[in-house]
């Protein structure tokens, strides 16, 4: 079973429903795997303050893929440099 998100709530994918029939496959053109060593190197570069585009150039990777790799690492608590944080929408006076 594949869980889909729609209208703010999980949906179950029926076997009859395919991509293109109201479904969009995300990140289809992107690599799905990376070696642990390279992932750790990318994380190290980022934690030292390097920019994602510079890391991507160093490793000859798509910057979007480096972003996804760092997002993965941030979700696992492995990124110490600020990453994709939210700025409060509250107005302070």
Return the HEC string of the chain: CCEEEECCEEEECCCCCCECCCECCCCCCCCCCCCHHHHHHHHHHHHCCCCHHHHHHHHCCCHHHHHHHHHHHHHCCCCCCCCCCCCCCCCCC
Q: Is residue 59 part of a domain?
A: yes
* CATH assignment of the domain containing 52: 1.10.10
Residue 42 is part of which domain span? 27-75
Q: Structurally, how many domains does the chain consist of?
A: 1
Predicted pLDDT at 42: 96
At residue 18 the predicted structure's pLDDT band, cuts being 50, 70 and 90, is: low
The answer to whether the pTM exceeds 0.85 is no
Confidence of residue 86 (pLDDT cuts 50, 70, 90): low
pLDDT for residue 1: 47
Q: Is 53 inside a domain boundary?
A: yes
Q: How do residues 35-83 score in pLDDT, each as one tens digit?
A: 999 999 999 999 999 999 999 999 999 999 999 999 999 889 887 877 6
In a domain, 70, yes or no: yes
Comparing CA positions, the residue from 79, 63, 81 lying closest to residue 71 is 79
- Within a domain: residue 50? yes
Kindly state whether residue 56 falls inside one of the protein's structural domains.
yes
């Amino acid at each position: 079973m594949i869980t889909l998100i729609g209208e703010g709530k999980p949906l179950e994918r029926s076997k009859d429903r395919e991509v293109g029939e109201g479904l969009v496959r995300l990140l289809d053109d992107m690599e799905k795997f990376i070696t642990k060593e390279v992932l750790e190197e990318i994380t190290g570069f980022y934690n030292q303050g390097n920019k994602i585009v510079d890391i991507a150039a160093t490793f000859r990777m798509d910057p979007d893929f480096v972003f996804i790799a760092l997002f993965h690492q941030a979700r696992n608590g492995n990124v110490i440099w600020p990453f994709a944080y939210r700025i409060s929408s509250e107005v302070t006076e």
